[in-house]
Amino acid sequence: MTNDTELKWELSHIANRRKAYDYMRSMKNIFCVYSASVCKLYSNYQLHYTGEEGAELIEVMPDQNAWHDTFSFVSPQAVRPSGIFMFPGELFGKTGFYVRLPLKGGKGKTMPLSEAFDQVLGKRDNFLPLIKKGDLREFKAKSPYVHLHWLDIDKLEELSTFQRLDIASTITTRFHDMVKTAAAEEAIS
């Protein structure tokens, strides 16, 4: 068990906690998890649902044997909110994932993940999504969703070019694999 409180996500604000845990598990191998308190980005971890009724939490457990999958010296200034939200497709009667992109004027546009990637996300230079404590939320006590943060690789001034490219490659590969899987699921449904 870790002592890093940023890896212990309280679920008291979520009505359907088990559903939220299952949703997070569906994205476990996709998004890296960031902890500002230790300035680390974890790409290899397990999720554990713990606690008793009313005190449940999800605990992110980094793989201690996979030190090469943990990136250190990731400054909190490099992690920024994106305003992008990801929902399970079942909320819309579909499969896969749906994304709500922010638009000017405080409005947003919701679309399948692969469509959002083709139209917007794939065209942004260095869109490197990640999640952190506080990003797991609930929509109208019905469905979990996550707010995505993004990593501004240029703000990682303490790291070498190789280290920055390694982080970017890890995040990009995982996210692109998710988009490909989502596109295949959308083509079937």
Q: What is the mean pLDDT of residues 88-103?
A: 88
Of 4-8, 45-49, 80-84, 180-184, where does mean pLDDT reach its minimum? Answer: 180-184
Q: What percent of the chain has pLDDT over 90?
A: 47
Over residues 146-174, the pLDDT tens digits come to 999 999 999 999 999 999 999 999 998 88
Q: Which of 3-7, 90-94, 122-126, 144-148 has the highest mean pLDDT?
A: 144-148
The predicted structure's pLDDT at residue 159: 94
The predicted structure's pLDDT at residue 53: 66
The predicted structure's pLDDT at residue 176: 81
10 Å CB burial of residue 27 (0-12, 13-18, 19+) is middle
The predicted structure's pLDDT at residue 145: 94
The predicted structure's pLDDT at residue 117: 81
The predicted structure's pLDDT at residue 188: 66
Measured CA to CA, the distance from residue 156 to residue 145 in angstroms comes to 28
Q: What percent of the chain has pLDDT over 70?
A: 90
Position 26 pLDDT exceeds 70: yes
> In one letter, which amino acid is 24?
M
The predicted structure's pLDDT at residue 90: 87
Calculate the average pLDDT of the chain: 87
Say how many residues make up the chain: 189
Strands (E), the chain: 8-10, 33-35, 40-42, 45-50, 57-62, 70-71, 79-88, 97-102, 108-112, 129-132, 136-139, 143-151
Position 2 pLDDT exceeds 60: no
DSSP strand pairing (129-132 vs 33-35)? parallel
Residue appearing with tokens 């942004």: 124
